[in-house]
Structure 1
């Protein structure tokens, strides 16, 4: 589920979908805008395996658990890396 397996194609693994989300997340956007941009990006970059909305949400959950995205006032954004607090995690 997180990574590719026999039953999950590499382009549908949560880590790959999460990486694709990070590629398009160049500014704070709503969840629905991010979903639309991800589908457009995947279509234009040759990723034809469908990603259901639930899988997209699970990918966001993984990114949030890893501390790389945050949701503030309904806007999703990349979390800024703070080198001073990295040791405290």
Structure 2
């Protein structure tokens, strides 16, 4: 589910959908705006595998769990973390 499997294509796994969501968050957006932009981005880039709203929410949950997105005043915000500061 998180990574591609025999039953889940690479453009539909949660990591790929999460990355596609992050591409839509160059500025803070509502969940509805991010969903609409993701759908149109996938069509423009010829990703025809279906992604339901539930799958979109699962990808958002994964991104939130990884600490990559936050919700501020009803807007999704991508956290910008530099690789050097993330080292332990």
Global fold match (TM > 0.5): yes
Match of 1:67 in 2: 67
> Residues 27-48 of structure 1: CA distance to partner in whole angstroms, max 9, x if unpaired?
0000000000000000000001
SS at match of 2:80: coil
Taking the aligned partners of 2:18 and 2:35, their CA distance within structure 1 comes to 12
What stretches of structure 2 of length at least 5 have no aligned partner?
none
The 2-side partners of 1:9 and 1:28 are apart by 29
Cα separation, 1, equivalents of 2:24 and 2:30: 12
Q: Give the superposition deviation at 1:24.
A: 1.5
User: Number of residue pairs matched?
Assistant: 86
Q: What SS does structure 2 have at the residue aligned with 1:71? A: strand
When the two structures are superposed, what TM-score results if normalisation uses the length of structure 2? 0.91
Listed as ranges, the matches of 1:11-50 within 5 Å are 11-50=11-50
Let me know the Cα RMSD of the aligned residues.
Answer: 1.3
What secondary structure sits across from 1:16 in the alignment? helix
Report the TM-score when normalising by structure 1.
0.90
1-side partners of 2:81 and 2:7: how far apart? 34
Gaps (5+ residues) in structure 1?
A: none
